[in-house]
Structure 1
C-alpha cells in the first residue's frame, strides 16, 4: 500500500522532497523490493536487488527503503521540473503506483519607475522573474484602480520565468500626487505594493527633471552594456571550463553488498567521456570506462565485468548545446580486495580534464551465522553448544553473548571464543558454551546466543532447547519371550539413544476386537520392572522396559500390549506394540505356537539382513521353510539347516539356519529359533514378500514379515569436475549414482580451508529404472581460482544416511 501525501510546492532554485511511503504488512526485505520514479515517461530513479540508478540532482537514502520510505530529493529545482511524477513500488508479485504533482513557484520582483521624455511622463510598474504565468498587476491612485493604464504582453526568460509591465501616461494634473503599484501572485502570501511620490512643478523644475532623467537613462544604459559584456564573457568561459561535483556514496562499505558511487559534471559539450579508477592498497591501479563501448561482454576482461560504469546525459535548456552528465560506478566490495583502496572519477569534456577522488572511511563484513547451533555431549554430562560466526571484518567489532531463560542461571564455565584469521583479511569466531545436561530435563529451558558487530544495524540471536537435540529415544520391536516358570510371558522393549536421562515409560493394554486402551499398572497380575538407564559410548542413554504377565488361557483373554515412551526431546510420545498375544492351550500337548518374525525394519543395499522366527512346543521333527517372493515374481523356498550342515552360498543368495533348539517346559517338546540371512538389493527385494512356514505333526503355521524401508546409498564414483564457461565462470559438477529413494540433500561450499562460503547449486535427478542418478552443478567466479589454496567442496546426505558425506577439489590436487 502507498500512503496518500500532500502535493509538494517548491520555490525555484531550492531543493524538494518528492514524498512516497509504503507498507507491506511485514518487515521489508530488499530482495523482493523495487522502487521506480518516472517523470514525463523517463526514468528518474530505480532501486532493486541489482543495485541503484539515479538521474543528476536526485538523491536517495538506502536506509529509508527498509523503513517503507521511497521518497527522493530533487536538488536545484527549475521550472521544467514542474509536473506529475509517478512512484511505483514492486514487492514480490505485487505492484502499486502513485502520482505526485510537483508545483514550482518563483516570487515576482516589482519595480515602480517614472520615465520622463520631452513630450510626456509615464509611470511603469515592472514585474519580473515570476512563475507560474498568471499574475495581476494594478496601478492605484488615491485608493482606486487606474483603468487607463496599459498592460504589456508576457515575455518568457530562458529559465522559464516570465516578465510583465503595466504603464500609465501622466497628465499635468497628476504630477503632484502619490501613485502605487500592487502585484498579486499565487507564490505570495500577500500582495506586493510599491509607492512613488510625484513632485513635479514649473519649467525650471521640469528642466531639472529632464536633466536628472537623462543622467538616469545613461546610468541604466551603462548597466545594460556591462551586463551584456558579462553574459558573453560568462558564456565563453563556460564553454572553456566545466564544473565537476564531488563523488557521492556511502562512507562505509559492506562486504558482499552491491555498492554504487556517483558523480556529476555540469556545462559539458556533448562529447564528454568518463572513467573510474580503483587504486588498491598495494598501489595497483585499475581503470574502468563506461559501458557500451562496442565490445561484446564475453570479449571484455573478467575484472571489467565485475565493475560497471554508466553515464547519463541531460541536455540543458540554453542554446549553447551544453549538457550535464552523471556517472555511476557499481561493484561489490570485498574486504580481501578493497581494504585500504581508493576510488577516483575522471571527466574529459571539450579537451579539458577534471578528476575527483573518493576515500571511504571503512569496509565492514557482516558475520554469517552457520546454522544451526552445534550440540555435542561431554564425558562430564555437560552439553557443549557451539556458535560459529564466519567471514566478518573488523575483528574488534564482534561481541558474542550467551544466556539462559532462568531467573537463577546454572553455574557454568565462561564461554570460550576461538578467533580464526583467514588469508582474505576476514575473521571467524567459534564460541563454545557448556551447560549441565540435567538443565535440559525441563522442556521449557532454553539457551540463547546473541551477537552484534559494527556492520550490523541490530543484534541477532538464536535459541536452542531440548527439542533441538538429535538424541531422541528410539524403540526396538517388542518380541514375545516366554518365561519357563509359572507359564508367564516377559515383554521387553529396548530403548536407546536418548539424552538427557528423563525417560517416562507407560504400558497399556487393548482387548481383542477393541480400540480402547487401558493403562497397565503393577499388581498381582502384572509386574512392571522400572527401566534402569545406562550410558553408552556416545554418552547417550539406553534402557530396557519390561512387563511380565500371565499367559492367556482362552481366546477371550487374548490382548495386545503397547509400550509408550515420553521424553523432553519429543513433541509427541512414541510407542510400540506386540500385536495380539496368542492363546497358549496348555491342555493340548500337540499344539505349537509361532511368534511374529523379528528383524530390522530398514534395509540398505549391499548390507546383510538377518530375520528370526520362533516356535514353541514343537515336536522334534518340525520343518521350517522360508518363502521369498522377489520383485520380479520369482518364488524361492529355503529350508533351514543346522549350523553344522550350513552351506556357504553367494553373497546375494539366501541362507536359512536353525539357530537354537531347546527343550520346552512341556515334556517331549522343543522350542526352536530359525534365521534367514541375505544381502539386501533394491533390484530383487523392492516390494517383495517374505513368509516363514512351520510344519509340525501334520499342522502348519505361517508368519508374514513386511519391512518398512529399503534404501540404496548414493555412489560417488568420480571427483568433482571443473569446466570453464564463456562468461569467465567455472562450472563445478558432482555426480551421484544408484541411490533409492529419490530424496537427496546437496550442499556446496567454496573458500580457503577451513572456512567455506555456501554456494547456490542446481540439481538434475534422473530415473534409471529402480534407482536414481543425480547431477549437481554449481557456478563460481573464475577469479576465485587465482588462489591455489581455493577449494570447492560438495556435500550430500541421503535420507537414510546418518551423517553428511563430502568430497572436495582444489588446484593443488593432482590430475586436476
Structure 2
C-alpha cells in the first residue's frame, strides 16, 4: 500500500499544482482583462470569434488531459479545475464582448482630418469611413484671427464609397479671392456635422502672422499675337490676381532644332483687393512665322506654384489669328469665243508667304492642274498690305472657251504656313446667267430736306438687265420712283447695282418694300423696311 500512498501523494501534489496554476491564470485574466482589451481592439469580430473558439478548445483539451493522466483526482479537485476553466472561459468571453461592444460603438463614426492648404490658396478637409452618407460642411473666414465676425465661404464636396459600405468625403474651399485682405493674417474654419457625432467637429487653419493670403496667378486668355508696323509680331500674356507681387516670367522661341531666349517687358497693375496683374510682352521677327515648326513659348513661376507653367503657340495652332480666307470667287460665265476671267481673292493672312494654284474639273469630274500656256493664262499675283498689317491678294485666271470645251468649273487652291491642309473654292459649273445676291438690309438716312433716302445693294448678277421696284403702304400698291446705279469691276462680267429712292417722312408709307427680278431667277424676291413708333 505504501507505493499506492506515495502515488496518491504524487497525484495530489500534481493536482494542487494544476489548480493553483489555473487560479493564477484566472487571477491574471481578472487583473489583465482591461489591459488585454487594447490589443484585442485591433481584431475584427471574426478574429474575436476565432479567439473564443481557440480558448474553449484549449480548456477542453486541458481538462481532458488532466482527467486522462490523473484518473485518481478526487471529485473535489476535478470540480476546482472545472470552476477555474469556467472562470477562464467567462473572462475570455467578457473580454471579447467588451472588444466587440467597443468596436460596434466606434464603427462608422466620421474620422475628421486636419485642414490642408495648397499653394494656390485652396483649402480642403477630408473625412473618412463614415455612415450613413448624409454629412454637411460649413466654411468660414475670420480676419483677423482675433475677430468675432465670421464670413461664410462657398465650398464644393466630392464623395466616394468604400467596399464596406462606408463613405469618404473631401470638402474644398477656394473662393477666397476678393474676400481676404492679402496683407493680414486670417483663420479658415471648417465644421463637420453628422448624426454619429455628438456635436459638430470644428477644425481651424491660421496663417502665419508674417504671411498673408497668397494668390496663384490666373490665366484668363491664351497667348496673344498682334502685328507691328516694321513687320514684327508682338507676343503678350496676361497673368491676373496673384500675390505677392514677385513673379518670374521668361520667353523663348523654338525652331525645332534650337531654342533661344527672348527679352521681354512686364507691366504690373495693383487690384482693389491688393493683388496684382502682370502683362508680359516680347517681339519676334515676322518672317520667323514662315516656318510651320516655329513656336513661341512663355513660362512663369510664382511662390504659390510647385513648378513652372507655360503656354506656347505655333502658326498652325487653333489660336493663330492670321490664316488666309478666300473672301471672293467670281462665277464662271462662259460665252463662246469670248475671253473669260475668273478671280480668286484671298485676305487676312500673315506672313506674306502664300501659294495659289488653279485646277479645272471637266465633265468626267477629273481634277486637272492648270498652268500658264497657250490655252490658259494665270496673271502674276500682287499682294497688298492692309491697315491692320495683314495681306490681301487676287489671283486671276484667263481663258477663251470654245463651243466644244470640256471646262465645267475651276478650283482655286490656297496654301500657307498656317494651314495644315490647303483651302479651296470652286467657281461652280459654267453658266450663262448669274442670279443677283442681296446680303444687306435696306439702308436709310435722313436728308437735309427732311426726306428719307432708302437704298439697296444688289451684287454679282449677269446679264446686266434687272428690274428693281419700290412700293409702300400696307397694301403695297403705291409705287415709288427709284434710280439704279450699275457697277462693273474691271475685267469681270458680273454687275453690281445700287437702287435708291426718296420718300417723305410719313409713317403711313411704311412698310417700305423693294422687289427685284432677274432673268436668272425663277421668281422675284424682296426685302421690307418697317418703322415702329414708341
With the length of structure 1 as denominator, give the TM-score of the two structures. 0.40
Distance 1:473 1:636 in 2: 48
Residue number among 316, 320, 325 corresponding to 1:469 in the alignment:
320
Distance 2:436 2:259 in 1: 45
Distance 2:468 2:146 in 1: 78
Aligned to 1:603, the other structure's residue is in SS state coil
Partner of 1:359: 206
**Pair 334,413 (structure 1): closer, same or farther in 2 beyond 3 Å:** closer
Q: How far 1:161 sits from its partner (Å)? A: 5.3
- Structural RMSD (CA): 5.3
**Pair 532,704 (structure 1): closer, same or farther in 2 beyond 3 Å:** farther
**2:147 is aligned with 1:285:** yes
Partner of 2:353: 502
Quick check: 1:252–1:364 contact (8 Å CA) kept in 2? no
Residue number among 406, 411, 418 corresponding to 1:569 in the alignment:
418
Q: How far 1:452 sits from its partner (Å)? A: 3.4
| Aligned ranges 1:202-281 → 2 under 5 Å | 248-250=114-116, 254-255=120-121, 257-260=122-125, 280-281=143-144
Aligned to 1:440, the other structure's residue is in SS state helix
| Aligned ranges 1:379-458 → 2 under 5 Å | 379-396=229-246, 398-407=247-256, 409=258, 413-458=262-307
Aligned to 1:565, the other structure's residue is in SS state strand
Aligned to 1:564, the other structure's residue is in SS state strand
Partner of 1:548: 398
Q: How far 1:598 sits from its partner (Å)? A: 6.1
Partner of 1:337: 180
Q: Give CA-to-partner distance per residue, 1:87-121, whole Å, 9 cap, x none.
A: xxxxxxxxxxxxxxxxxxxxxxxxxxxxx9xxx99
Distance 2:148 2:384 in 1: 67
Partner of 2:485: 657
Instruction: Please list every run of 5 or more consecutive structure 2 residues that lacks an aligned counterpart in the other structure.
Output: 1-15, 41-47, 71-77, 101-111, 128-137, 157-170, 192-201, 445-455, 502-509, 530-534
Residue number among 603, 619, 632 corresponding to 2:440 in the alignment:
603
**Pair 473,252 (structure 1): closer, same or farther in 2 beyond 3 Å:** closer
**2:98 is aligned with 1:160:** yes
Q: How far 1:495 sits from its partner (Å)? A: 1.8
**2:338 is aligned with 1:491:** no
Aligned to 1:518, the other structure's residue is in SS state strand
Residue number among 79, 100, 124 corresponding to 2:24 in the alignment:
124
Partner of 2:518: 692
Q: Give CA-to-partner distance per residue, 1:460-487, whole Å, 9 cap, x none.
A: 333312233222222312156999xx95
Quick check: 1:527–1:548 contact (8 Å CA) kept in 2? yes
Q: How far 1:251 sits from its partner (Å)? A: 5.7
Distance 1:276 1:635 in 2: 69
Quick check: 2:466–2:516 contact (8 Å CA) kept in 1? no
**Pair 506,704 (structure 1): closer, same or farther in 2 beyond 3 Å:** farther
Aligned to 1:383, the other structure's residue is in SS state strand
Distance 1:372 1:449 in 2: 11
**2:374 is aligned with 1:374:** no
Quick check: 1:491–1:548 contact (8 Å CA) kept in 2? yes
Aligned to 1:533, the other structure's residue is in SS state strand
Q: How far 1:518 sits from its partner (Å)? A: 0.9
Matched length: 394
**Structure with the bigger percentage of strand:** 1
Distance 2:386 2:250 in 1: 32
Quick check: 2:386–2:392 contact (8 Å CA) kept in 1? yes
**Pair 138,497 (structure 1): closer, same or farther in 2 beyond 3 Å:** same
**Structure with the bigger percentage of helix:** 2
Q: Give CA-to-partner distance per residue, 1:545-567, whole Å, 9 cap, x none.
A: 112212x2314455422222222
Distance 1:499 1:161 in 2: 79
**Pair 598,534 (structure 1): closer, same or farther in 2 beyond 3 Å:** farther
Q: How far 1:392 sits from its partner (Å)? A: 1.7
With the length of structure 2 as denominator, give the TM-score of the two structures. 0.58
Aligned to 2:518, the other structure's residue is in SS state strand
Distance 1:684 1:469 in 2: 45
Q: How far 1:504 sits from its partner (Å)? A: 1.0
Q: Give CA-to-partner distance per residue, 1:667-686, whole Å, 9 cap, x none.
A: xxxx995624479xxx9999
Quick check: 1:335–1:393 contact (8 Å CA) kept in 2? no
Quick check: 2:518–2:524 contact (8 Å CA) kept in 1? no
Quick check: 2:115–2:204 contact (8 Å CA) kept in 1? no
Instruction: Please list every run of 5 or more consecutive structure 1 residues that lacks an aligned counterpart in the other structure.
Output: 1-115, 163-245, 263-274, 289-302, 309-327, 348-354, 583-593, 617-622, 639-646, 650-654, 665-670, 694-701, 713-816
